[in-house]
Amino acid sequence: MLNDDVKKYIEKSVLCWLATSDKDNFPNVSPKEIFTFQGDSTFLIAHLASPNSVSNIKENPKVCVSFVDVFVQKGYKLKGTAKVIEKGSSDFDIKLKPLTDLFSDKFPIKAVIEIEVTKVEPITAPSYFLYSETTEENQIESALRTYNVAAK
C-alpha cells in the first residue's frame, strides 16, 4: 500500500490535508503539519488543534488525506479508516513516538489520528499530461520562480 515512492512524498511534504465528514456527510478539510507513516499501511497524524476532524472521525471514520511536493507538483491521495488514539490508551505512546521522533515532543499533541490506508492514488499536476515537454526539473524551476524561493 505505502510503497517507497509514497513514503518519499510523505517525507518531502510540508503539510497534508485531512478530509473528514460528519454523520450528516458535511465535509471538513483541515491542514496538518505533523504526520508520518508506520509500516506499509498506516498513516499517523498528530492532533494539535483539530476538534472538527476528531469529532468527525468519531462519527464517520472514513477519511482521505492528500499531500504534494509543491515544487515537483506531485504527491498522493490516501483513503482509509481512521481512529483517534487518546492519551492514556494502551498504544498511545507507540503511535506517538514516530511523530515526536520526526518533529519533537514540544508540540501539545492531544491525540494521534491513525489511518489504516485502503487505497492510494497519485496526484499529478495537469501540466504533466497536458504538455508532453513538462519535466520535474522545469516544474521545480517554475515553482522556485513563482514562490520566489532560492534553491540550495
Q: Which domain holds residue 65?
A: 4-125
Q: Is 131 a domain residue? A: no
Q: What is the value of pTM for the model shown?
A: 0.90
The pLDDT of residue 95: 94
Would you say 120 and 1 are in contact if contact means Cβ atoms under 8 Å apart?
A: yes
The pLDDT of residue 103: 76
Find the CATH number of the domain harbouring 58.
Answer: 2.30.110.10
The pLDDT of residue 3: 97
Q: What band does 142 get if pLDDT is binned at 50, 70 and 90?
A: confident
The pLDDT of residue 47: 94
Residues 34-86: tens digit of each pLDDT = 999 999 999 999 999 889 999 999 999 999 999 999 899 999 999 999 999 99
d(C-alpha 27, C-alpha 14), whole Å:
23
Q: Is 40 a domain residue? A: yes
Q: What band does 133 get if pLDDT is binned at 50, 70 and 90?
A: very high
- Give me the residue label for grid cell 508540540: 107
What are the φ/ψ torsions at residue 65 (nearest 5 degrees)?
-125, 140
Q: Is 99 a domain residue? A: yes
Residues 6+ apart with CB under 8 A from 53: 18, 20, 28, 30, 47, 113
Q: How many domains does the chain have?
A: 1
Q: Is 69 a domain residue? A: yes
d(C-alpha 44, C-alpha 40), whole Å:
12
Sign of the torsion angle spanned by Cα atoms 109, 113, 117, 122 = negative
Measuring CA to CA, how many Å separate 34 from each of 2, 43, 108?
18, 11, 11
